[in-house]
């Protein structure tokens, strides 16, 4: 007798374990993991659709299990490998089973997927059974029919077996889709038809739900109504209020077939230079291995990826290309789409649920051979994977911030080892952890030290801003930067100015008593945005008016502190009147369309000075930019996180790489109050190895990754006392389970660096432990926080477990 483990409702958090069912003899041959089945569920044996996740030869107890009633799929919707991957993630990242399995299931609700059957060949019907002949007659007109429809009309016993046989004889074709959302269907979208500020005025302060919607609508400009309501967790009636006030328009559009625009220019193959060729051959010659390409900005890594993918295509194999954030790397997308056309699927966050399913279905059916996408594209359901590329591997976005809190690198390693695929990481500034692994031999290190085109790396000059001040320059632009900008503009060149803080200024501070304007629900200082004259919290997005008098001491000497991109924009406009100055940060750029519009006008030379945050640091290639100014490298350097020197090095190197991509040598002016800092010094000399050697010494001395693993447990909830009580109880439990072990350091519990976010009080327990005992620690965490969770967890208190977090705030 065999048994199947079945998940029934994929969305329910309660049913966190699969259920066991008995497989009746007649279904034994066709049941497989990844296929959907019909089972009687619950006390009243309601019929439910479930999915098989594993098959066992014996049951774990002699409990009388219910029988599976029917099998719905001829082919598994999800590969066994992918289900294995989900089990592995559950153990590795300590999340619930449903959270882990969700990543590999088709987008949406698997119960809504319908299988279609279509005739592919008309033949003599003698060798077919009566049921098979009935099926063939039913689909004789060539239209695709949902299998359920056959079930209603024909004898259901043996139907799946009959269909299976017909498919093997190649008389029919099977495909799947979401029935009610088929082709030619439309979807409702909402877009704003009033200025943002005007809208805010109409909504008023009390209507927080409307405000939330308004922000979300402006944040995406045009968004499917269903996605909007789900994101904001609100109902249609609230949206209707905005419509009635003529603030938004609801439009109906037909669902897009393919998300790649039709107007992508062809991107022809470039012959590799000798350094590129060396790297390419090493990878090509060792399929199934893992590589790190450490190549300076502009060394032509993308062309290597493209040609590796081409090699895969010729072998009939599939490729996954991961990029940090899709909107941030349009040039990479254009190159892939421009070379491989309709073989490429682009998975970006702007896709609707329907589009996401459609992409998934086409990848699964082999229509696409290449996927370019952000982090979650690592789960693309390819059947014959050959290559995974992680571009800009050092980026934070490769660590998931929601459960399962996976590292994309680790998942990629796992997928590669299951499928024998090649893994390629690429970057100009490897993360310390990755470089350490490469030196240890986990990855093969390949280096490129020359640019692909005959351009030199830009010259980086560091300006000590303390000296500027002492010599009488109170402006945030140094004299050197000013002179270089003036000269470049005089020659008709373009300039990029980088500052990693949006808004007008940092917090509003009272110079008399030191009061700082903080967000009521987050306890973090709010940022002054001059464009809408409000303070805005960068954590929860809420806004408030700017105080005219200090609410504590009544002083009127209350001012903004620190500069943001808005202020830089205002100042440069005064400094260089008549020049076209454009700001690019998440306030100015609300969607992909804005983003692309700015890139295009920059490329066409319509912009003289582009000011921006991290948004401008990656993957942009403007040949006419000769000067790059970094206004305050210190903003990143001063964050309370052990990775801030690393981040500073990465950011300055990436930003500097934007200069001198044309025929002129670029100049980079880096302004700082900490010119002696090793991170600044090594980036000035473009010396990654020097930086790494210094940084790795510190990591070792201070016991940080990659020498130890870290685990951060954040406990949070609305009621401070209850949260505090719970975290202390868990801390004791955890200490008890781990026991006396000098290889585990348990720090805390203490208030998290961000003590309060969104009204939640937050406390942390931080673990540092050796790689040799990670299994033990994981088991302990699993026991305390996952297995026992129903027993000890209270509804109003939540726990987040993050292993090797990229940020500990």
Q: Given the rule CB under 6 A, which residues bind ligand ADP?
A: 270-273, 276, 295, 297-303, 452-453, 621
The phi, psi pair for 356, rounded to 5°, reads -65, -45
Structure tokens at 539: 């954590």
Site membership for Zn ion, residue 519 (CB under 5 A): yes
The listed partner (Zn ion, ligand ADP, none) that binds 369, CB under 5 to 8 Å by sort, is: none
Give the other-Cβ count within 10 Å of 265's Cβ.
Answer: 9
Indicate which of Zn ion, ligand ADP, none lies near residue 273 (CB less than 5 to 8 Å, by partner kind).
ligand ADP
Q: How far is the CB of 325 from Zn ion (least distance, A)?
A: 23
Closer to ligand ADP by Cβ: residue 36 or 661: 661
Contact partner, 82, from Zn ion, ligand ADP, none, Cβ < 5-8 Å per class = none
540 binds Zn ion (CB under 5 A): yes
What is the nearest approach in angstroms of Zn ion to the Cβ of residue 715? 19
For Zn ion, which is the closer residue by CB, 245 or 511? 511
539 binds Zn ion (CB under 5 A): yes
Between residues 454 and 490, which has the closer beta carbon with respect to ligand ADP? 454
The answer to whether 589 and 616 are in contact (CB under 8 A) is no
Q: Which of 513, 593, 702, 732 binds Zn ion (CB under 5 A)?
A: 513
Select from 133-141, 363-371, 427-435, 543-551 the region that touches Zn ion (CB under 5 A): 543-551
Euclidean distance between CA atoms 804 and 769, whole angstroms:
11
276 binds, among Zn ion, ligand ADP, none (CB under 5 to 8 A by kind): ligand ADP
**Whole-angstrom distance, CA of residue 81 vs CA of residue 220:** 36
Q: Is 258 helix (H, G, I), strand (E, B) or coil?
A: coil
In sequence order, which residues have a C-beta less than 8 Å from that of residue 137 and are 6 or more positions away? Answer: none
> Shortest distance, CB of residue 259 to ligand ADP, whole angstroms?
23
Q: Contact with Zn ion (CB under 5 A): which of 27, 428, 537, 655?
A: 537
**CA-CA distance, 331 to 321, in Å (whole number)?**
13
Q: Nearest Cα to 65, choosing from 77, 74, 56, 53?
A: 56
The CA distances from residue 188 to 219, 229, 253, 297, in Å, are 17, 12, 6, 42
Q: Is residue 687 classed as helix, strand or coil in its secondary structure?
A: coil
**H-helix or E-strand spanning residue 486:** helix 479-490
Taking the least distance from each CB to ligand ADP, the nearer of 276 and 679 is: 276
Q: Toward ligand ADP, which CB reaches closer, 572 or 616?
A: 616
Cβ distance to ligand ADP smaller for residue 4 or 452: 452
One of 512, 531, 720, 776 touching Zn ion (CB under 5 A): 512
* Using rule CB under 5 A, residue 123 touches Zn ion: no
Q: In what side-by-side order are the strands of the sheet with 527-529? A: 527-529, 534-536, 543-545
Nearest distance from C-beta of residue 441 to ligand ADP, angstroms: 24
Sheet holding 459-464, edge to edge: 459-464, 667-672, 625-630, 494-498, 609-612, 581-584
Cis-peptide, bond into residue 175, ω within 30° of zero? no
Q: Tell me whether residue 455 or residue 767 sits nearer to ligand ADP (CB atom).
A: 455
Contact pick of 28, 123, 179, 552 for Zn ion (by CB under 5 A) = 552
Tell me the CA end-to-end span of the chain in Å, nearest whole number. 52
Contacts of 451 (CB under 8 A, 6+ apart): 296, 297, 298, 299, 300, 457
With CB under 5 to 8 Å by kind, the binding choice for 519 among ligand ADP, Zn ion, none is: Zn ion
CB of 293 to ligand ADP, least distance (A): 8
Chain Cα centroid distance, residue 601: 27
Q: Which does 452 bind (CB under 5 to 8 A by kind): Zn ion, ligand ADP, none?
A: ligand ADP
Task: Give the whole-angstrom CA distance, residue 666 versus residue 408.
Answer: 34
Q: Which is nearer to ligand ADP, 310 or 719 (CB)?
A: 310
Q: Look-up: residue for tokens 């996954």?
A: 320
Which residues, other chains included, contact 108 with Cβ-Cβ below 8 Å and sequence gap of 6+? 178, 353, 354, 356, 357
Q: Select from 435, 515, 688, 763 the one that contacts Zn ion (CB under 5 A).
A: 515
Q: Which does 326 bind (CB under 5 to 8 A by kind): Zn ion, ligand ADP, none?
A: none
535 touches Zn ion (CB under 5 A) = no
C-alpha distances in Å from residue 765, one per residue of 459, 620, 701: 44, 40, 22
Residue 642: CB minimum distance to Zn ion, A: 25
| Total number of residues shown for the chain | 809
User: Which partner, ligand ADP, Zn ion, none, binds residue 298 by CB below 5 to 8 Å per kind?
Assistant: ligand ADP
- Of 302 and 543, which CB lies nearer to ligand ADP in the complex structure? 302
Question: Minimum distance between the CB of residue 447 and ligand ADP, rounded to whole angstroms?
Answer: 12
Which residues, 6 or more positions from 57, have their beta carbon under 8 angstroms from its beta carbon? 2, 3
Least gap, CB of 285 to ligand ADP (angstroms): 19
Which residue among 28, 553, 665, 698 contacts Zn ion (CB under 5 A)?
553
> Could you list the residues that contact Zn ion (CB under 5 A)?
510, 512-513, 515, 519, 522, 537, 539-540, 550, 552-553, 555
């Amino acid at each position: 007798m065999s048994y199947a483990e079945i998940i029934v409702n994929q969305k329910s958090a309660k049913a966190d374990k699969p259920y066991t069912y008995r497989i009746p003899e007649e279904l034994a041959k066709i049941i497989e993991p990844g296929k959907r089945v019909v089972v009687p569920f619950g006390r009243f044996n309601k019929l439910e659709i479930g999915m098989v996740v594993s098959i066992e030869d014996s049951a774990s107890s002699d409990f009388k299990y219910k029988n599976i009633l029917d099998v719905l799929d001829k082919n598994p919707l999800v590969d066994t490998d992918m289900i294995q991957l989900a089990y592995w993630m559950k153990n590795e990242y300590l999340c619930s089973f449903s959270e882990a399995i969700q990543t590999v299931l088709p987008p949406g609700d698997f119960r809504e997927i319908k299988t279609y059957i279509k005739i592919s060949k008309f033949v003599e019907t003698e060798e077919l059974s009566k049921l098979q002949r009935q099926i063939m007659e039913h689909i004789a007109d060539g239209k695709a029919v949902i299998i359920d429809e056959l079930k209603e009309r024909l004898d259901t016993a043996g139907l799946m077996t009959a269909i299976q046989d017909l498919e093997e004889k190649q008389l029919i074709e099977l495909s799947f889709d979401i029935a009610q959302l088929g082709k030619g269907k439309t979807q409702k979208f909402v877009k704003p038809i009033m200025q943002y500020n005007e809208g805010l005025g109409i909504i008023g302060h009390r209507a927080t739900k409307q405000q939330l919607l308004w922000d979300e609508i402006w944040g995406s400009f045009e968004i499917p109504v269903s996605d909007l309501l789900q994101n904001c967790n609100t109902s249609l009636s609230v949206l209707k209020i905005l419509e009635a006030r003529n603030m938004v328009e609801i439009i109906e559009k037909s669902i897009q077939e393919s998300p790649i625009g039709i107007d992508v220019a062809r991107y022809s193959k470039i012959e590799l230079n000798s350094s590129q060729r060396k790297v390419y051959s090493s990878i090509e010659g060792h399929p199934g291995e893992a590589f790190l390409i450490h190549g300076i900005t502009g060394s032509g890594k993308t062309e290597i990826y493209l040609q590796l993918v081409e090699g895969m295509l010729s072998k009939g194999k599939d490729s996954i290309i991961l990029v940090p954030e899709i909107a941030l790397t349009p040039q990479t997308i254009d190159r892939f789409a421009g070379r491989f056309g309709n073989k490429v699927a682009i998975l970006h966050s702007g896709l609707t649920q329907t589009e996401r399913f459609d992409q998934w279905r086409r990848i699964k059916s082999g229509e696409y051979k290449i996927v370019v996408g952000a982090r979650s594209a690592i789960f693309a359901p390819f059947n014959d994977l050959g290559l995974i590329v992680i571009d800009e591997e050092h980026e934070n976005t490769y660590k998931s911030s929601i459960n399962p809190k996976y590292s994309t690198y680790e998942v990629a390693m796992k997928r590669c080892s299951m499928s024998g695929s090649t893994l390629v990481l690429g970057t100009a500034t490897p993360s310390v952890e990755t470089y350490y692994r490469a030196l240890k031999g986990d990855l093969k290190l390949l280096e490129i030290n020359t640019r692909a085109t005959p351009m030199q790396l830009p010259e980086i000059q560091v300006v000590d801003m303390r000296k500027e001040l002492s010599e009488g320059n109170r402006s945030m632009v140094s004299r050197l930067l000013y002179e270089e900008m003036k000269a470049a503009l005089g020659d008709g060149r373009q300039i990029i100015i980088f500052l990693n803080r949006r808004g007008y200024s940092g917090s509003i501070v009272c110079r008399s008593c030191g009061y700082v304007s903080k967000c009521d629900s987050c306890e973090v200082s709010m940022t002054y945005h001059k464009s809408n004259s409000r303070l805005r919290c960068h954590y929860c997005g809420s806004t408030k008016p700017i105080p005219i008098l200090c609410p504590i001491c009544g002083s009127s000497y209350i001012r903004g502190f620190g500069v943001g991109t808005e202020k830089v924009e205002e100042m440069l406009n005064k400094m260089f009147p008549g020049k076209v100055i454009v700001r690019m940060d998440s306030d100015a750029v609300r969607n992909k369309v804005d983003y692309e519009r700015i890139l295009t006008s920059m490329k066409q030379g319509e912009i003289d000075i582009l000011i921006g945050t991290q948004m401008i640091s990656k993957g942009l290639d403007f040949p006419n930019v000769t000067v790059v100014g970094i206004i305050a490298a210190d903003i990143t350097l001063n964050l309370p996180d052990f990775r801030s020197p690393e981040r500073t090095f990465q950011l300055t190197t990436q930003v500097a790489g934007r200069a001198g991509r044309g025929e002129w040598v670029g100049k980079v002016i880096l302004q700082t109050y900490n010119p002696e800092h090793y991170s600044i010094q090594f980036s000035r000399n473009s010396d990654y190895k020097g930086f790494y050697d210094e940084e790795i010494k510190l990591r070792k001395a201070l016991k940080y990754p990659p020498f130890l693993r870290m685990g951060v447990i954040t406990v949070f909830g609305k009621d401070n006392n209850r949260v505090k009580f719970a975290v202390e109880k868990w801390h004791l439990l955890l200490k008890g389970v781990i026991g006396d072990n000098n290889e585990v350091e348990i720090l805390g519990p203490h208030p998290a660096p961000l003590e309060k976010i969104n009204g939640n009080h937050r406390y942390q327990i931080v673990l540092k432990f050796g790689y040799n005992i990670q299994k033990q620690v994981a088991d302990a965490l699993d026991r305390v926080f996952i297995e026992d969770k129903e027993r000890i967890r209270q509804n109003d208190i939540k726990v987040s477990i993050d292993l090797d977090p990229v940020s500990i705030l």
